[in-house]
C-alpha cells in the first residue's frame, strides 16, 4: 500500500535565511538545502514549503513580491535539479485571526485535502518550537527540529513556548533532518 506522506519544510531558519522573516529578495537558501530537497524528490516524497509570511499582512511588502521571491527560490532549486511540490504560506498578520498561521494547522489540512495525504505519515521540519513543532503536534505529524535559524533558541531560551512537546528528532540542519527522515521511512517499510 502506498503511504501518502509528504515533508513540510519551514522556510526561514530551516532551508535558508536567518530565522526571522525577511524581504523575499534578500532570502538565500542554505548551500545544503537544494541537495537535501533533491534527496526527498529522488525518494518520491512530496515536499511542501510551509511558512508564515506575516510581513505581507503587516505591510512590509506585497504578496506579489512574496510570490516573486518564491519564484526566484524555485529557480535556484531548479538549477540543482530540486523542486518543491507546492508552497503553503500564511500572509496574514496576527490580528486577522486566521486559521493558517502556524502554529494553526489550516495549511496542513488544506494540503491534506489537495494531495490526499495521511498527516500521521508526514513530517514537519522547522527551527521554531512554538510554531513549527506546535503545529506538528496539533496535526499529528512527525516532527524534526533543526538547530539552524532559531533552532538552538527553541531548545533553550524559548523552550517554554512548546513545553511538553518532544520532537522525534533534533537535527544539526536540514541535510541531517533529511537523512533521518529517509532512515525512518526505510525502517517503517522493513517492519511492515
Binding site for Zn ion (CB under 5 A): 90, 92, 98, 100-101
Which 3-22 residues touch Mg ion, going by CB under 5 A? Answer: 10, 12-13
CA distance 44 to 147: 26
Q: Does 173 bind Mg ion (CB under 5 A)?
A: no
CB 9, min distance to Zn ion, A:
18
Q: Which is nearer to Zn ion, 64 or 159 (CB)?
A: 64
Q: How many CB atoms neighbour CB 57 within 10 A? A: 18
Q: Is 166 a residue of the active site?
A: no
- Kindly state the number of chain residues that form the binding site for Mg ion, as judged by CB under 5 A: 5
CA distance 1 to 37: 24
Q: Is 184 a residue of the active site?
A: no
Q: Is 10 annotated as contributing to ligand binding? A: yes
Q: Is 12 annotated as contributing to ligand binding? A: yes
Q: Which is nearer to Zn ion, 91 or 167 (CB)?
A: 91
Which 114-133 residues touch Mg ion, going by CB under 5 A? Answer: 127-128
Helices (H) and strands (E) in the chain, counts: 7, 6
Q: Which helix (H) or strand (E) holds 139?
A: helix 134-139
CA nearest neighbour of 131 among 89, 180, 70, 178: 89
> One of 12, 42, 132, 168 is an active-site residue; which one?
12
Q: Confirm if 171 and 180 have CB atoms less than 8 A apart.
A: yes
CB 150, min distance to Mg ion, A:
6
Which residues is 123 bridged to in the sheet? 7, 142
Q: Which is nearer to Zn ion, 87 or 144 (CB)?
A: 87
Q: Give catalytic residue positions.
A: 10, 12
Known binding-site residues for Mg(2+) equal 10, 12, 127
Amino acid at each position: 500500500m502506498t503511504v501518502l506522506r509528504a515533508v513540510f519544510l519551514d522556510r526561514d531558519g530551516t532551508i535558508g535565511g536567518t530565522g526571522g522573516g525577511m524581504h523575499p529578495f534578500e532570502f538565500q537558501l542554505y548551500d545544503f538545502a537544494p541537495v537535501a530537497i533533491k534527496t526527498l524528490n529522488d525518494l518520491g516524497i512530496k515536499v511542501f514549503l510551509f511558512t508564515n509570511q506575516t510581513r505581507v499582512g503587516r505591510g512590509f511588502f506585497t504578496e506579489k513580491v512574496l510570490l516573486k521571491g518564491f519564484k526566484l527560490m524555485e529557480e535556484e532549486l531548479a538549477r540543482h535539479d530540486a523542486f518543491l511540490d507546492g508552497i503553503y504560506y500564511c500572509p496574514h498578520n496576527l490580528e486577522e485571526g486566521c486559521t493558517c498561521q502556524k502554529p494553526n494547522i489550516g495549511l496542513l489540512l488544506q494540503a491534506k485535502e489537495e494531495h490526499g495525504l495521511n498527516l500521521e505519515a508526514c513530517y514537519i521540519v522547522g527551527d521554531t518550537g512554538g510554531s513549527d513543532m506546535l503545529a506538528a503536534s496539533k496535526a499529528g505529524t512527525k516532527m524534526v527540529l533543526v538547530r539552524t535559524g532559531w533552532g538552538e533558541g527553541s531548545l533553550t531560551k524559548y523552550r517554554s513556548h512548546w513545553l511538553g512537546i518532544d520532537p522525534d528528532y533534533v537535527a544539526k540542519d536540514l541535510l541531517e533532518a533529511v537523512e533521518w527522515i529517509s532512515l525512518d521511512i526505510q525502517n517503517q517499510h522493513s517492519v511492515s
